[in-house]
């Protein structure tokens, strides 16, 4: 025994909304194509907001919801592929913005769309060795900076957002029992680096990624159930990385998950990579479907290739 529970959640999205109609004026696409293939109707894009603004807003909201004093926070991990700068880490700047103590362990973590769950697992390990009980995990992305708005196969998919949680560690609580996986592959999904020359740019081969997701996600869910001894019936919500509605629907059907246990917000935010799982958690906490005593089985998958699942208590 020993593990973390979520004590508070928060999220921020930039003000500007880009609809499918807006994108149809930029590339050869249509609302019908995007909606039927992905479930996405609109997404938010940063204009004035920085990555740090989104992460700070989400983390402050999570601290407020948790009622935790920043001085009590022992570690802060920001999960992202696109902070404002390569260095300092976004988590270091968040230390300043949130007024965290100077002995807070702060760093960024890159596991793409699985990042938030890699971050939660890392946080559980960090707090098990910390004199302080609380930690902050943020998933924050400004993917519009990496999006090629002339490539119709990727530019319709992604949005900008940040989601954050404040967690509490107790020796007597069960672990989140994270299951993490990696299959190194830079062919089917990634972001070109500046070292390769030119502007960073998201690239993706949609069908191999789709196949990877529908094979891996059920195995990952099953691995979490096996590790914890839980059944889907014991879980209040199953929270999926919001990559594509068709992927979520296929997995839900395979496990026979009741629809009231699955929340999808893709239509409003698109795929926000590391922000997508905490964004869903925040919506579920704010409408009362998650909260004290409840459990969420969360699953992420994406670039790396990576995947991650965990059973998270509140
Ligand atoms: N509008 C209109 N037509 C398009 C668009 C668009 N936005 N994008 C691609 N097309 C065209 C293609 O050019 C192709 O045309 P062609 O047949 O003339 O060559 C046709 O549509 C079919 O393209 P496919 O790539 O085969 O389309 P598919 O049915 O596979 O759907 C999609 C694409 C939605 C990306 C799908 O492969 C998918 O869901 N993949 C999963 C990947 C995913 O979710 N990625 C998110 C990021 S990664 C992550 O979070 C894990």
Question: ipTM of this model?
Answer: 0.92
Say yes or no: CB of residue 36 within 6 Å of ligand 1: no
Ligand 1 centroid–CA 204 distance in Å is 9
Q: Are 296 and 241 in contact (CB under 8 A)?
A: no
The pLDDT tens digits for 105-121 are 999 999 999 999 999 99
Structural domain total, the chain:
1
For ligand 1, atom 2: residue with the closest CA: 29
305: which residues sit within 8 A by CB, 6+ positions away? 182, 183, 184, 185, 188, 189, 212, 216
Say yes or no: CB of residue 244 within 6 Å of ligand 1: yes
Q: Which domain holds residue 310?
A: 1-314
The pLDDT tens digits for 295-308 are 999 999 999 999 99
User: For residue 168, what pLDDT band results from cuts at 50, 70 and 90?
Assistant: very high
Closest approach atom of ligand 1 to CA 38: 34
User: For residue 187, what pLDDT band results from cuts at 50, 70 and 90?
Assistant: very high
According to the model, what pLDDT value does residue 270 have?
98
- Residue to substitute in 244, 301, 307, 308 for testing ligand 1 pocket (most ligand atoms within 8 angstroms of CB): 244
According to the model, what pLDDT value does residue 34 have?
97
Say yes or no: CB of residue 203 within 6 Å of ligand 1: no
CATH number, domain with residue 314? 3.40.47.10
User: For residue 17, what pLDDT band results from cuts at 50, 70 and 90?
Assistant: very high
Ligand 1 centroid–CA 91 distance in Å is 34
The pLDDT tens digits for 206-245 are 999 999 999 999 999 999 999 999 999 999 999 999 999 9
According to the model, what pLDDT value does residue 105 have?
98
Say yes or no: CB of residue 259 within 6 Å of ligand 1: no
Give the integer Cα–Cα distance in Å for 109 and 146.
18
User: For residue 67, what pLDDT band results from cuts at 50, 70 and 90?
Assistant: very high
Query: How is residue 84 written in tokens?
Result: 């404002």
Ligand 1 centroid–CA 312 distance in Å is 32
According to the model, what pLDDT value does residue 199 have?
83
Mean of pLDDT over the chain: 96
Where on the phi/psi map is residue 108: left (φ > 0), alpha (ψ -120 to 50), or beta? beta
* pLDDT of residue 192 exceeding 90: no
* pLDDT of residue 150 exceeding 90: yes
Among 208, 223, 204, 232, which residue's Cα sits nearest to residue 143? 204
Among 164, 105, 110, which residue's Cα sits nearest to residue 129? 105
| Residue in this structure with the two tokens 């009590």, named with its chain if needed | 72
The pLDDT tens digits for 43-64 are 999 999 999 999 999 999 999 9
For residues 68-77, average pLDDT: 98
pTM score, whole prediction: 0.96
Ligand 1 centroid–CA 206 distance in Å is 5
Ligand 1 centroid–CA 205 distance in Å is 8
Q: How many CB atoms lie within 10 A of CB 151?
A: 14
Helical ranges in the chain per DSSP H? 20-24, 31-38, 51-66, 90-98, 115-128, 152-155, 206-228, 245-255, 266-269, 276-286
- Residue to substitute in 28, 113, 117, 207 for testing ligand 1 pocket (most ligand atoms within 8 angstroms of CB): 207
Give the integer Cα–Cα distance in Å for 282 and 41.
20
For ligand 1, atom 29: residue with the closest CA: 37
For ligand 1, atom 50: residue with the closest CA: 243
According to the model, what pLDDT value does residue 285 have?
98
* pLDDT of residue 193 exceeding 80: no
According to the model, what pLDDT value does residue 256 have?
87
Closest approach atom of ligand 1 to CA 34: 7
For ligand 1, atom 34: residue with the closest CA: 37
Both ends of the chain: CA-CA distance in Å?
16
The pLDDT tens digits for 241-275 are 999 999 999 999 988 899 999 999 999 999 999 99
Q: Are 192 and 198 in contact (CB under 8 A)?
A: yes
Ligand 1 centroid–CA 213 distance in Å is 14
């Amino acid at each position: 025994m020993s593990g973390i529970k979520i004590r508070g959640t928060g999220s921020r999205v930039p003000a500007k909304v880009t609809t499918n109609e807006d994108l149809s004026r930029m590339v050869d696409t249509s609302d019908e194509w995007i909606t039927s293939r992905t479930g996405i109707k609109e997404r938010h894009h940063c204009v004035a907001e920085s990555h740090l603004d989104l992460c700070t807003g989400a983390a402050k909201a999570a601290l407020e919801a948790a009622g935790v004093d920043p001085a009590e926070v022992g570690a802060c991990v920001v999960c992202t592929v696109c902070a404002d700068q390569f260095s300092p880490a976004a988590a270091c700047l968040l230390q300043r913005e949130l007024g965290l103590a100077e002995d807070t362990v702060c760093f960024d973590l890159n596991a793409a769309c699985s990042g938030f769950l890699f971050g939660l697992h890392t946080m559980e390990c960090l707090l098990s060795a910390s004199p302080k009980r609380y930690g902050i995990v943020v998933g924050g992305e400004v993917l519009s900076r990496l999006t090629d708005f002339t490539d119709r196969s990727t530019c319709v998919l992604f949005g900008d957002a940040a989601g954050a949680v404040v967690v509490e560690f107790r020796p007597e609580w069960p672990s989140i029992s994270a299951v993490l996986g990696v299959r190194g592959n830079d062919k089917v999904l990634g972001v070109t680096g500046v070292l390769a020359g030119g502007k960073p740019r998201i690239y993706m081969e949609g069908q191999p990624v789709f196949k990877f997701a529908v094979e891996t996600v059920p195995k990952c869910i099953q691995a979490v159930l096996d590790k914890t001894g839980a059944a889907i019936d014991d879980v209040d919500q199953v929270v999926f990385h919001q990559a594509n509605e068709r992927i979520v629907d296929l997995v839900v059907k395979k496990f026979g998950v009741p629809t009231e246990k699955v929340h999808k917000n893709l239509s409003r935010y698109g795929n926000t990579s590391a922000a997508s799982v905490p964004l869903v958690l925040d919506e579920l906490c704010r409408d009362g479907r998650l909260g004290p005593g409840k459990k969420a089985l969360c699953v992420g998958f994406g670039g790396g290739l990576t995947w991650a699942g965990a059973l998270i208590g509140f």
